[in-house]
Amino acid sequence: MTTTTLPAAQDRPRTYLVRTLGCQMNVHDSEHMAGLLEELGLVAARPEDAAAERADVIVINTCAVRENAADRLYGNLGRLARLKRENPGMQIAVGGCLAQKDRAGIVERAPWVDVVFGTHNIDALPVLLERARHNARAEVEIAESLQVFPSTLPTRRESVYAGWVSISVGCNNTCTFCIVPHLRGKERDRRPGEILAEVGALVDEGAIEVTLLGQNVNSYGVEFGDRQAFAKLLRAVGAVPGIERVRFTSPHPAAFTDDVIEAMAATPTVMPQLHMPLQSGSDRILRAMRRSYRSTKFLGILERVRAAMPHAAITTDIIVGFPGETEEDFEQTLRVVEESRFSSAFTFQYSPRPGTPAYELEPLPKAVVQERYERLVELQERISLEENQAQVGRTVEVLVAEGEGRKDGESRRVSGRAADNRLVHLALPARLAGLGAEGGADPRLAEALDPELPRPGDLVEVEVTYGAPHHLVADSALQGRTYRVRRTRAGDAWAQRERVKAGLAQEEHSHGPTAVPGVPVPLGLPVVRTALA
């Protein structure tokens, strides 16, 4: 029977675990939370302990976008209540968008929670944990506006070969279904120099891929009055020595300008991939959603992107069942999806969120929404399959990843992302199949590394041999066709980190500049900012 009690804390460093719910912004914020806890002297719980939620500090970084977001949080907290009864020294902290929204309500509903902090004061986590432990009572601290730009906080990155870099936080749009502006505030832009410095630091640590993050990256620069700032930033980040792949999320069709398409096409390291949220194909519904573009403009952008980058993969977000959506409106969504030929789509049933302008609107019957949702998924599945089947025979370069291929073990493949961000499962040469499967030392960490054995972070050139709705298969190595491994600094960085974990090497890692809690770090905005400092 696996024990759930933790050994006494005084005999070992305290451990932590950060659980992330929601979007990429939250994934990156969780990396800052982990960095802050490591700066406090805690260490990440081992994978087997994390799986059993055995840690001294457990942080849940919440999302508020979906209806079931609250169910997921309180479901998690219910399970942790028992663990905390068995480990009274354990601390539970709740952060992120639902914490920003529900505040002290979380402690009222789950009094075993020790700390509640918001989206604007991630930096307060260490102090609040210490204070809660010292005063033996829950600490709830929510800031109404950003205290410290998250990117200046210590960061424990999930991956060594690819990293997230925030370019802005918050959003100036007011989409009527969306709670984000309410919880993350107005858009705040980082100065380009700071972003380039962070990308440079990431590359120095071994990364070859970076994803620029913002709720609405296209309006980047609005705060310092430069409408072309995002296109310039793409070119500049793409020119950072050592960077091989630049991605970004999320753009907004209303602010998506041709200079961005030109920058993507002209900068070889900017990947031919675009995630462009459509939400609805009906102009009437787009107006009701307060999404200031119409289907013609949306399709026009896709046409110009494909003219400039014929192999670009385009994905999207679509909401079905927005209040007032008629069958004709929904037919428009199906029409735009058919014309857009998305390689994949995140499809959602409308979820009323308290605090959003659309919350008071009369919802559609669940059965109607469900039936439309199924029709949309069926259509997109067909298109995704056709678009992926069209990739068969193409030569692609795959950035080998960790944990992308659930079936890799039994399928004797490794997985990763092609330049267009499609998921590829690729076969190793037959002579390598099963290498390392018998346990023992990881052959990818061997001094005399087999030249055809890729490590996470390395790049492998292969030929696509099969297209499925949600992934590609490249078994060209087994068919005597294209298979070339290109070693990278990212693969070296991955191997070094794994050797440290395995006790085969010493750690050479820093968490970036030290942030002094409570002391505002200059956000790098033009002098107008002095008012805030």
Binding positions for ligand SF4, rule: CB under 6 A: 171, 173, 175, 178, 180-181, 215-216, 252
Please report how close the Cβ of residue 482 comes to ligand SF4 at its closest, in angstroms: 40
CA distance linking residue 242 with residue 431, whole number of Å = 32
Please report how close the Cβ of residue 69 comes to ligand SF4 at its closest, in angstroms: 14
Q: Which is nearer to ligand SF4, 215 or 316 (CB)?
A: 215
Please report how close the Cβ of residue 185 comes to ligand SF4 at its closest, in angstroms: 11
Please report how close the Cβ of residue 234 comes to ligand SF4 at its closest, in angstroms: 19
- Whether the Cβ atoms of residue 59 and residue 95 lie closer than 8 Å to each other: yes
Distance of CA 139 to CAs 115, 136, 344, Å? 5, 9, 42
Q: Which is nearer to ligand SF4, 219 or 476 (CB)?
A: 219
Whose CA is closest to 425, among 407, 437, 438, 443?
407
What residues have CB less than 8 Å from 420, skipping those under 6 apart?
Answer: 271, 272, 273, 311, 312, 313, 343
Whose CA is closest to 170, among 183, 155, 159, 158?
183
Please report how close the Cβ of residue 528 comes to ligand SF4 at its closest, in angstroms: 23
Q: Which is nearer to ligand SF4, 64 or 125 (CB)?
A: 64
Residue 443's φ and ψ, nearest 5 degrees, are -60, -15
Q: Which is nearer to ligand SF4, 235 or 252 (CB)?
A: 252
In the numeric block, which tokens belong to residue 418?
């092609």
Please report how close the Cβ of residue 319 comes to ligand SF4 at its closest, in angstroms: 10
CA distance linking residue 89 with residue 6, whole number of Å = 9
Q: Which residues pair with 459 in a beta bridge?
A: 399, 486
Report which secondary-structure segment, H or E, holds 460: strand 459-463
Q: Which is nearer to ligand SF4, 107 or 171 (CB)?
A: 171
Q: Which is nearer to ligand SF4, 139 or 187 (CB)?
A: 187
Please report how close the Cβ of residue 180 comes to ligand SF4 at its closest, in angstroms: 4
The string over 328-351, giving b where at least 16 C-beta atoms fall within 10 Å of a residue's C-beta and e elsewhere, is ebbebbeebbeebebbbbebbbbb
Report which secondary-structure segment, H or E, holds 115: strand 115-117
Please report how close the Cβ of residue 181 comes to ligand SF4 at its closest, in angstroms: 5
Please report how close the Cβ of residue 215 comes to ligand SF4 at its closest, in angstroms: 4
Q: Which is nearer to ligand SF4, 260 or 427 (CB)?
A: 260
Please report how close the Cβ of residue 293 comes to ligand SF4 at its closest, in angstroms: 11
Q: Which is nearer to ligand SF4, 278 or 383 (CB)?
A: 278
Q: Which is nearer to ligand SF4, 120 or 444 (CB)?
A: 120
Distance of CA 376 to CAs 141, 320, 343, 346, 365, Å? 42, 8, 14, 11, 17
What residues have CB less than 8 Å from 353, skipping those under 6 apart?
Answer: 64, 65, 67, 177, 178, 179, 359
Query: Taking the chain, what is the end-to-end CA distance rounded to the nearest angstrom?
Result: 54
CA distance linking residue 503 with residue 344, whole number of Å = 41
Please report how close the Cβ of residue 506 comes to ligand SF4 at its closest, in angstroms: 43
Q: In what order do the strands lie in the sheet with 162-166?
A: 162-166, 209-213, 245-249
**Neighbouring C-beta atoms of residue 243, cutoff 10 Å:** 19
Whose CA is closest to 494, among 206, 209, 241?
206
- Whether the Cβ atoms of residue 337 and residue 346 lie closer than 8 Å to each other: no
In the numeric block, which tokens belong to residue 278?
């459509």
Please report how close the Cβ of residue 315 comes to ligand SF4 at its closest, in angstroms: 15
Q: Which is nearer to ligand SF4, 109 or 186 (CB)?
A: 186
Q: Which is nearer to ligand SF4, 152 or 215 (CB)?
A: 215
Residue 234's φ and ψ, nearest 5 degrees, are -60, -45
Distance of CA 112 to CAs 77, 85, 93, 197, 225, Å? 8, 9, 10, 41, 47
Q: Which is nearer to ligand SF4, 178 or 274 (CB)?
A: 178
